[in-house]
């Protein structure tokens, strides 16, 4: 829920700031700025909530905490790429693939009641997927419209 709020607020603020600066609306740039801010926001979680996020990864996968740190760094790089004109399209496709690859971790976390913020197993369970899957689809569509379909 928090990433969605960050995305939407950043989008609205970006629209207004760009309108003031450029004297016109630039919705795709505003969308990329908002997605970049959201990615940095979620990347911070990888460094602050490392234990809980590592619980979202199945037990058979080794070096979970390193993987969480690397994906946090990757999200920051994607955020930069979305704002770099020459890299925005490849960053958009990469982000879409990344979001698709992260969906199994969310499913695993739901099945196992992982509460990544607390680092416990008292999360919302499968009910979480009723929000998370549509949210993931929204992020994918957002990335596609703002970076690829221009």
pLDDT at 150: 59
Average pLDDT over all residues of the chain: 94
Q: Is the C-alpha dihedral spanning 148, 40, 4, 100 positive or negative?
A: positive
Q: Tally the domains of the chain.
A: 1
pLDDT average, residue stretch 14-38: 97
DSSP 8-state code for residue 113: T
pLDDT at 149: 79
DSSP string covering 55-88, please? Answer: TTS-TTSS-HHHHHHHHHHHHHHHHHHHHSTTTH
User: Residue with structure tokens 């890299």?
Assistant: 87
User: Residue with structure tokens 């909530």?
Assistant: 49
DSSP 8-state code for residue 121: S
Range of the domain at 125: 2-148
Helix (H, G, I), strand (E, B) or coil at 120: strand
pLDDT digits (tens, 9 = 90+) for 76-97: 999 999 999 999 999 999 999 9
């Amino acid at each position: 829920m928090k990433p969605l709020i960050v995305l939407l607020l950043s989008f609205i603020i970006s629209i207004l700031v760009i309108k003031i600066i450029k004297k016109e609306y630039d919705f795709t740039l505003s969308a990329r700025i908002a997605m970049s801010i959201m990615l940095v926001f979620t990347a911070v979680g990888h460094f602050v909530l490392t234990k809980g996020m590592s619980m979202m990864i199945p037990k058979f996968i080794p070096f979970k905490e390193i993987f969480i740190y690397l994906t946090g760094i990757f999200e920051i790089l994607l955020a930069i790429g979305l704002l770099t004109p020459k890299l925005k399209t490849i960053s958009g496709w990469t982000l879409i693939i990344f979001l698709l690859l992260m969906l199994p971790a969310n499913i695993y976390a739901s099945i196992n009641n992982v509460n990544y913020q607390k680092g416990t197993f008292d999360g919302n369970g499968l009910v979480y997927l009723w929000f998370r899957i549509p949210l993931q689809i929204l992020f994918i569509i957002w990335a596609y419209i703002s970076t690829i379909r221009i």
